Chain A
Amino acid sequence: MNEKIVIKNVNKFYGRKQALFDINLTIEKGMFGLLGRNGAGKTTLMKTLAVLHKKKSGDITICDVPVEKAKEIRAMTGYLPQDFSMYPNMKCDEALEYLGALSEISKAECKKRITSLLRRVNLIEHRHKKVRELSGGMKRRLGIAQALIHDPKVLIVDEPTAGLDPEERIRFRNLLCEIAQDRIVILSTHIVGDIEATCKNIAVMDAGKILWKGTVQEILENAKGHIYTTNVEKRFLPQIKKEYIVTGMLAQTDYVTVRIVSDAEPDLPNTVLTEPDLESAYMYCLHSNGCDVMGGEE
């Protein structure tokens, strides 16, 4: 079986408003990051892959199965939505048993998988806790467990780390990397750090279009020669933010080190061309594709 997702010329409308424009992507085994601002169309694309939305035109195949065969796609896909919860009165293992039953797994098999998954997501000690008693991070981990209950070939995870504390976020990223070893994992996020820490292949989306696709290394290469740092006095900051795309600021004793994205070398003293990080590369990608980016604007 061809373990990849192929998306060809996909368009999607909400009423008369077009949400996806001619999307073309090939996603292979491992972690794949879909990066974009809020409202870029990431969730729409994720939901279309999870057969929760219907595309207007184009073709999607998941492991050679066209997305129109909803039941087969659902059997091989696990989905963790951005905004989800579970019946608050159910215990963790009960909630998983319920969703396992909906995935048509036998009772014995389901019980076995629940124990193994709860162990994997580090919730085994909380298996008899009610869903409403879980913290945000625990709930997300339970979310991953439910998405994996039927051992899917594809895991679609939409903004999973939003609202998590740094420790929980790191734990979650590591978990996703582990899971991606034997399946396709699509991580949709607007948090660059999540992608940087987990994905080799990424796509950048904005306004329903794919702006860029390739490896993390390639997007960094693409931004080379366009990222600068400079040390400026604090009082000049507002002016610099107005004129340039500022992606980072580090306050020193009597000056600020500013990271700037620019097509040409900024006309500022002490400016140094610097190696791009993913955040700056992403901002450059948006900027070079004509998106309205105000990096330093608060």
Chain B
Amino acid sequence: MLFSKECKKILHSFTYILYCALVILMVVSQYFGESDGKVYPPVKGGDDYGYKIEEDHDIIMSSATVALTTEYFANRYVCYPFGFYKAVHLNNKEQAEVEKYISELSGLDSKELIDIKNNSNIYNYTDGTHYYSDYNVMDVPVSETLTYERFTEIMGDVDDILGGGSDYAVESLVVRFSRIPMTYEDAVEDYNELIEDDKITGAYARLFSDYAGIVLAIVPVFVAAALTAADRRRKMNELIYSRKTSSFRLVFTRYASLVTMMFIPVFLLIVIAFVQLLSMYSGEKMDMSVMFTLPTFWLLPNIMTASAIGMLVTELFSGGAAILVQFVWWFMGLMMAGTAGLDGMIGKYTFICRHNSLGMRRAFFMNWDNFVFNRIFYIIISLAAAVVAVLIYDMKRGGRFDGIRLFGKNSIFRRKA
């Protein structure tokens, strides 16, 4: 009874309507924009068949050495610890260590490295806040005596110096640095995988989840926050606090209804996508279940985590602070979505999993273990966040806690002062 009433409440809220509109807009403009044409077998004699990821040690060593040298020259290393963007700047001692490793990788000494730096074109760019200069390093040789084992050791050490989450992390090397152009034969194989292994729907399920995952990592936080804040905003909290029901039952029923309601439009879009595939590929053999199971496993943790965080933050903070924290989440979400856009790049802790391609099945399955770990990790995180939200709710209900305030008369900063 309570579950259905909470669902009805969500259904009538403005934030939920906005949520539905954003999800539909994202999926329609991105996924349906790309999925409306049938994929045909590649034509022989084409110029570009895309690229593939294949574990080629020579390519990995060469590309990684160039990339590391480029970042070393600028002393700006892009890392994604726990999936979040971070530009790392090293001190002189750490830079010297990296230089030592580059010398070992390339067989070049300091003077030769400086020559490469001086001969490289500099291009400047800005992210809107800072101006950066990067060196367009064209070629750095790889030492002939370097073995792949030693190379991976060096890369591991460099990743440690950078604090983890860099492109040089051993588990990222293949996906990051071993991209090679596909031949016609490769393209045929990729197409055959789509038809035979993915049974068509598998590939489309990944593309659907990729696009929907971006919006579902961010927007549910606002719906959850709005629902959680509604009691106080509507002066209804004391009427609810004084009820018999347990805090656990109340918070978890609300959580379950939020997740259910936010999954409904996603499910309907999956159905539409599935019907579209049925009409496009009529006569082909399709996997009827994967179009539903994969997006559910992929996207539900996003909704669960963002909802739990929305509830937790709103319970923990009062007034403007909750809104501020939601915007921090929004910003981080956008940053993650914008930077993790490579195919098959699914880290263990990257909140937004991406695979922005219909093909490249092998690249995706190369990270399958990471993907499964990642999704289960976020389900656990979300449940843990919901349990903490229950504890905080219970404290507020019994008058033992009134939410952290960052602004105004009862701000934590003022109290300390």
Question: A residues touching B (Cβ–Cβ < 8 Å)?
Answer: 47, 50-54, 70-71, 74-75, 77-79, 81, 83-90, 94, 97-99, 101-104, 107, 110, 143, 146, 150
Contacts and interface: CB of A to CB of B under 8 A. Distances in A.
B130 interface: no
A98 B5 contact: yes
Contacts of B5: 94, 97-98, 101
Given A53-B399, A88-B234, A103 B244 contact: yes
A74 B398 contact: no
B158 to A, nearest CB: 52
| Closest A-B pairs by Cβ, 6 of them | A53-B399, A102-B243, A79-B242, A85-B235, A101-B2, A75-B244
A85 B240 contact: no
Given A54-B400, A101-B2, A107-B1, A87 B239 contact: no
B397 interface: yes
Given A87-B234, A98-B5, A81 B239 contact: yes
A77 B236 contact: no
Contacts of A89: 12
Contacts of A90: 9
Given A52-B398, A102-B250, A84 B239 contact: yes
A71 B398 CA distance: 11
Interface of B: 1-2, 5, 9, 12, 230, 234-236, 238-246, 250, 397-400
Contact of A52 (B234, B236, B244, B399): B399
Contact of B244 (A81, A88, A97, A104): A104
A90 B239 CA distance: 15
8 contacts: A50-B242, A54-B399, A54-B400, A70-B398, A98-B2, A102-B244, A102-B250, A103-B245
B239 A86 contact: yes
B257 to A, nearest CB: 12
A104 B242 contact: no
Given A47-B399, A71-B246, A101 B241 contact: no
A81 B238 CA distance: 7
B239 to A, nearest CB: 6
Nearest to B395: A54
Chain B CB within 10 A, most for which of A50, A83, A98 = A98
Given A85-B235, A101-B245, 11 more contacts: A50-B238, A71-B246, A74-B244, A79-B239, A84-B239, A98-B5, A99-B243, A101-B1, A102-B243, A102-B250, A110-B1
Chain B CB within 10 A, most for which of A53, A84, A97, A107 = A84
